[in-house]
Amino acid sequence: MDEALRISFPRQATIAYIDSFLKAVRAVLDATNQRVCFDLSRIVEVSSVLICFLSGLLDLSRAKNNKVDIVLPRNKRAAKAIRSVKELSRRKDALIRITERICQVRKITGNNNAAIEEILSLLRENIKMGPSAYDSLLVVLTELLTNAIDHSGEKSCYVCAGAWGRSKYLHVTLLDFGMGIPQKIRTRYPEYEDDVEAVKSLLRLGLTTRVGLEGGRGYRFIQEILRRNEGRLHIFSGKTKTVLKYDKGEYNYRTARRAFTGTCVDIQFNLEEQGFDALVEEMEESPFIL
């Protein structure tokens, strides 16, 4: 094999540094029969987006017949989490506790609510969550799982959910390497040639590619929860970066420099605010957001 392709990860491996993860995906997809080194030595903070991308990158690398080396973080707690991910890469449909309040499903294959219920059950052991909150989150995550499995063209996705450190947010990240949201939307709505407009219309108009069925309620429900909860929603797919910060009243739809073949959705729920309970009953009467 040739000299190892070294891929370095940032010190703060969070959603704010999504470009570094997307760059890593492109690098792995371009490598075949090669040694690939994931250098995580600088990482001091574990995040749900890091766990999902690292799991996916390990699978992508092996699919390209690459040999993978991992340089563990110098931070002991971060290193422990990365070791768990490395072990999980050899298993399917596994649920694991990463750190005190983080759990991870490395890979979900098939549209099955049982995996989502397992995630929420494990979270409820460590995070205060009432019955209505549980039900609302189950609806949200089930819809996102359906999108990832049915709409992406892939039969699997990566999920990580939890809270850690002093963060006031519950973080949920879903990642797939399918066709991406904009491309899928154009299979039914070819007029949305621009990726940003495709995603913006998905969120604002409730577009669906489910022919003959009512759709679009999933993202409407998610947006309503996050608006009330003062949370955040990030969507990275195709050549678009969507960042909706309901806590700050900032709603940004931007064009990415390079396309990402796949979809990464990152949701942040504010644990210090109300907003989960009784939403299902109110959705029919509530105005559409954004």
pLDDT computed for residue 207 by the predictor:
64
Answer whether residue 216 shows pLDDT above 60: no
Alpha helix ranges (H) inside the chain: 18-29, 48-63, 76-88, 113-124, 131-146, 181-186, 195-205, 217-229, 279-282
Q: Which amino acid is at 149?
A: I
Task: Count the helices and strands in the chain (H runs, E runs).
Answer: 9, 9
For 162, residues 6+ apart whose C-beta sits below 8 A from its C-beta are 48, 98, 99, 101, 102, 103, 104, 123, 126, 127, 170, 171
Q: Tell me: the pLDDT tens digits for 154-208?
A: 778 899 988 776 667 888 999 999 889 899 888 888 998 999 999 998 888 766 6
Q: Does 3.40.640.10 match the CATH number of domain 93-290?
A: no
For the whole model, what pTM was predicted? 0.87
Cβ distance 225 to 210 under 8 Å? no
Which of 23-27, 100-104, 181-185, 214-218 shows the lowest per-residue confidence on average (mean pLDDT)?
214-218
HSE-CB for 223 with a 13 A CA cutoff: 22
pLDDT digits (tens, 9 = 90+) for 58-88: 989 989 999 999 999 999 888 888 887 766 6
Query: Where are the domains positioned within the chain?
Result: 1-90, 93-290
Predicted confidence (pLDDT) at residue 243 exceeds the cutoff of 60: yes
Establish whether domains 1-90 and 93-290 are of one fold: no
Domain 1-90 has CATH 3.30.750: yes
Residue 48 reports pLDDT greater than 50: yes
